[in-house]
Amino acid sequence: MSMSPTLEARSYPLMYAFGNYIRVVSAEEYLTASASGVVATWKQVCVSGPNDLRPIAPDLEYAG
């Protein structure tokens, strides 16, 4: 069974992808946050697909 494109738009406030939960900002309006004083910078190799011959390793930053 193939799925063809539709004109119906869908919205998802939470998504699970690649082992991570991703939540859109509007879904976090009711949450409170506290600063834990944690700051980190790391590199992660990013590729566009399994045949990508030019991976990049950008600096990813986290503060929370």
pTM: predicted TM-score of the whole model, two decimal places: 0.33
Are the C-beta atoms of 46 and 55 separated by less than 8 Å?
A: yes
Closest to 25 (Cα-Cα) out of 34, 33, 36: 33
Q: What is the pLDDT of residue 50?
A: 86
Task: Report the C-alpha gap between 15 and 25 in whole angstroms.
Answer: 12
- pLDDT of amino acid 25: 66
* C-alpha gyration radius of the chain: 17
Which phi and psi (to 5°) does residue 59 adopt?
-75, 120
**Structure confidence by residue, pLDDT tens digits, 2-59:** 667 778 877 777 778 788 887 766 656 677 766 677 888 888 888 888 888 898 888 8
